[in-house]
Amino acid sequence: MEKDMQTIYQSVLSRGFSRRDFLKMCAVLTASIGLDYSQNSEVVKAMEVSKRVPVIWLQLQDCTGCSESFIRSSHPKIESVLFNMISLEYTEALSAASGHQIEEARKHVIENYPGEYILAVEGSIPMHDEYLMIGGVSAKQTLLETAKHAKAILAYGSCSSWGGIPAAYPNPTGAKPITDIIKDKPIVRVPGCPPIAEVMTGVIAHLITFGTVPELDHHGRPKAFYRHRIHDKCNRRAFFDSGLFVESFDDEGAKQGYCLYKVGCKGPTTYNSCAEMRWNGGVSYPIQSGNPCIGCSESNFWDNGPFYTRMAKIPGTQTTINPEVVGAGVIGATVAGIAVHAAVTAVMNKKSDKSNKKDKVDTSDKGESREEDK
Amino acid sequence: MSIPVEKSKHEHPETRIAAKERRPVRTREDGKAYIKVYVWELPVRIFHWINAATILVMIVTGIYIGKPFLGPLVHEDATAFLMGWVRYIHFFAAFVFTANLLARWYWVFKGNKYATSNPAQKAFWVETWQTAKFYLFLRNKKPHYTGHNPLAQLSYWIFIGVGSILAMLTGYYLFFEPQPESLFGRMFSWVPMIFGDSFMIRSWHHLVAWGFIVFIVVHIYMAFREDWMERNGTMSSIFTGYKSEKKLKGKQHDDESTKE
Ligand code: SF4
Ligand code: SF4
């Protein structure tokens, strides 16, 4: 591990890049961390002195989607992240080693770099241990063990941030986000299913450049990437405000690129960078390509479906309803109830009138129809 | 007109619910047997109609925002601002609604005794139960009320009270959601801790709105029914403020018994 003694700058040079390349890399980094260009010199300085940081990447109840996204980062290029900035010591998806050998590598990092390494977690934690054992150790145990001496923890993906798909109804494994298990470490939530590659590398780059976690919002998400809703930066927003909507995926509106609100777009409730950073190196993102946002970076997104309808969730449940349909039904039932009540009232009224007439009771016009129970 | 004979076959006690009486209730002679009681003072009536109007506007615009049921008249007119205007009207109505509600809360402490309600007493709940039985056509000991019966008061607590607060908290959070750093954004930044994420807050807002619609339907029925059964001018009272009460022997009207 002698390479780890090199600074990031040195390791860039040793790979045959020039200082000019290094400065370019820093400029891209500044932008991708979500910083102002005026802060570029700070990034350069930091990269000149900081060392490569060991990273342990745990994959728990996941689908490897987050790893797949991560390795497609284009700025910073994944190669530069993997070879210059971090030293990925443990990952199931990418390491050549496996079995005891790789488990040893993990323990080695924990022992030799306490308080220095970064822990990235992909996937949620089952509350019932038997659902996930790695090398004979339960997922929860592995997580606690590895988190204990970590400098900071990155919750990559909606699974580790919110519970994600494993925690969707009926949640057979009792899946929980890592934030429910680790309370005493700084955790950065980087939700998304998967998160945007550049967001993933941007967050880790920030950690390495400044040695601190980026500014977070109330939910622990980096503000640089999760400050805005998709809806606020959406390229179809003008159509929303105009009231021009796609009604079905084969209509004229769909061809014209109208707003996807009525076909279930979750953009108005989804915090993510898709509308600005886009995917696959900035090529496009779902809404641009004609598919409504499914809200994959929000908690419980799987239970907030169906994806192509506008729904409302019943508080305290994992059930969504169509509020207008249910509402109209409830109103119908109410009106029916009222009709019955009015009918009974009228009948009771007649009866009491009759009995009153029989009793030859005074029936002044104001008094006659007073309710008997008055 | 002659004094109607009490038709009740079983006991109907006087209400025991205490209400703060800041000033004597205004009354007016109405024939020999009746008296007109000034129940709803002007601020209460104004509140009622502004409240009704803004809620109605917010229901129609709100349903549109949730399920845009119309396109702009000229289709494909991308310069149209239909959703924009509907949202604007919704928000405008929301601010009027809020100001109106605040004024009404002030009047709770300034108005006559019919403008207040105090459920923190046993009699309130006992009589709510009696009133509920009355409306279910069961034997009951419901007293007669000039103002709102306690069941009606309870429904206002739930819908106009709690319902409005839920709608306002979730609504204002959503309104300021794009500007969390602003003063108002920060004022409502704690809302997600209670209601959940953006999607949940929207769901709450939406469901509360349907709660209001149910309330309106029942409320209108009850008001008409009261008018029909009692012939006491309930419907006109929300315009004029006066309700008719029959004179009671030795008493001005039932208000005597509710004095603290
Ligand atoms: S967040 Fe989505 S992409 Fe990432 S591991 Fe979970 S299911 Fe897979
Ligand atoms: S497509 Fe979705 S995010 Fe874009 S404006 Fe329409 S509702 Fe909002």
- Give SS3 for A208: helix
Does position B73 have pLDDT exceeding 50, yes or no? Answer: yes
Per-residue exposure over B54-73, b if at least 16 CB sit within 10 Å of its own CB, e if not? bbebbbebbbbbbebeebbe
Q: Which of A29-38, A260-269, B38-47 has the lowest mean pLDDT?
A: A29-38
Higher pLDDT, B200 or B258: B200
Say how far apart CA B35 and CA B85 lie, in whole Å.
49
- Do the strands A320-321 and B27-30 form a parallel or antiparallel pair, or are they unpaired? unpaired
Q: Is A259 in the pocket of ligand 2 (CB under 6 A)?
A: yes
Kindly tell me the sign of the dihedral angle through the C-alpha atoms of A114, A118, A121, A125. positive
| Residues of B in Cβ contact (< 8 Å) with A299 | 197
Which listed ligand is nearest to A259 at the C-alpha?
A: 2
| Chain B 3-62, residues with CB within 8 Å of chain A CB atoms | 3-5, 7-9, 12, 33-34
* Percent of chain A whose pLDDT exceeds 70: 93
Pocket test for ligand 1, best of A57, A58, A59, A62 (most atoms within 8 A of CB): A62
Ligand 1 centre distance from Cα of residue A164 (Å): 7
Ligand 2 centre distance from Cα of residue B68 (Å): 13
Q: Determine the atom of ligand 1 nearest the C-alpha atom of A69.
A: 3
Does position B25 have pLDDT exceeding 80, yes or no? Answer: yes
Does A362 touch chain B if contact means CB atoms closer than 8 Å? yes
Cβ-defined contact of A366 to B70 (cutoff 8 Å): no
Higher pLDDT, A229 or A365: A229
**To the nearest whole angstrom, how far is the Cα of A260 from the nearest Cα of chain B?**
12
Q: Which of A199-203, A227-231, B64-68, B75-79 has the lowest mean pLDDT?
A: B75-79
| Residues of B in Cβ contact (< 8 Å) with A302 | none
Asked whether B103 and B47 are in contact (CB, 8 A), the reply is: yes
For residue A16, report the phi and psi dihedrals to the nearest 5 degrees. Answer: 90, 10
Tens digit of pLDDT for each residue in A40-98? 888 888 888 888 889 999 999 999 999 999 998 887 777 777 777 888 888 888 888 88
Of B7, B200, B213, the CB nearest to A313: B200
- Do the strands A312-313 and B242-246 form a parallel or antiparallel pair, or are they unpaired? unpaired
Q: Determine the atom of ligand 2 nearest the C-alpha atom of A267.
A: 3
pLDDT tier at B171, thresholds 50, 70, 90: very high
* Percent of chain A whose pLDDT exceeds 90: 54
For residue B27, report the phi and psi dihedrals to the nearest 5 degrees. Answer: -135, 165
- Give SS3 for A172: coil
Q: Where are the domains of chain A?
A: 2-226, 228-321, 322-374
Of A217, A245, A370, the CB nearest to B7: A370
Asked whether A147 and A119 are in contact (CB, 8 A), the reply is: yes
Tens digit of pLDDT for each residue in A225-254? 999 999 999 999 999 998 999 999 999 899
Q: Which helix (H) or strand (E) holds A86?
A: strand A86-90
pLDDT at residue A15, rounded to an integer: 84
Is 3.30.420.40 the CATH classification of the domain at A228-321? no
Token readout for A119 is: 């822990």
Q: Is A268 in the pocket of ligand 2 (CB under 6 A)?
A: yes
**To the nearest whole angstrom, how far is the Cα of B113 from the nearest Cα of chain A?**
22
Higher pLDDT, A187 or A12: A187
pLDDT tier at B8, thresholds 50, 70, 90: very low
**To the nearest whole angstrom, how far is the Cα of B211 from the nearest Cα of chain A?**
8
Cβ-defined contact of B210 to A330 (cutoff 8 Å): yes
pLDDT at residue B248, rounded to an integer: 66
Of B139, B189, B228, the CB nearest to A218: B189
- Superfamily for A2-226? NADH:ubiquinone oxidoreductase-like, 20kDa subunit (3.40.50.700)
pLDDT at residue A76, rounded to an integer: 76
pLDDT at residue A357, rounded to an integer: 63
Q: Which of A188-192, A206-210, A370-374, B25-29 has the lowest mean pLDDT?
A: A370-374
Token readout for A20 is: 């000019």
Q: To which residue do tokens 């494994």 refer?
A: A173
Asked whether B218 and B208 are in contact (CB, 8 A), the reply is: no
Does position B175 have pLDDT exceeding 90, yes or no? Answer: yes
Ligand 1 centre distance from Cα of residue A166 (Å): 9
User: Within 6 Å (CB) of ligand 1, which residues are found?
Assistant: A 62-63, 65-66, 122-123, 157-159, 164-165, 193-194
* Percent of chain B whose pLDDT exceeds 70: 88
Does position B1 have pLDDT exceeding 50, yes or no? Answer: no
Which residues are registered as beta bridge partners of A53? A86
Q: Which one of B36, B194, B199 makes the best mutation probe of the A interface by having the most chain A beta carbons within 10 Å?
A: B199
- Give SS3 for A39: helix
pTM, two decimals, is 0.85
Give the DSSP letter string of B52-78: HHHHHHHHHHHHHHHS-----SSTT-T
Q: To which residue do tokens 């920030």 refer?
A: A206
| Chain B 147-166, residues with CB within 8 Å of chain A CB atoms | none
pLDDT at residue A356, rounded to an integer: 65
Which listed ligand is nearest to A162 at the C-alpha?
A: 1
Pocket test for ligand 1, best of A67, A70, A156, A165 (most atoms within 8 A of CB): A165
pLDDT at residue B78, rounded to an integer: 64
Cβ contacts of residue B224 below 8 Å, gap of 6+?
A: B235
pLDDT at residue B6, rounded to an integer: 46
Of A269, A327, A371, the CB nearest to B198: A269
Amino acid at A23: L
pLDDT at residue A284, rounded to an integer: 94
Q: Which of B10-24, B35-49, B196-210, B226-240 has the lowest mean pLDDT?
A: B10-24
What ipTM was predicted for this assembly? Answer: 0.83
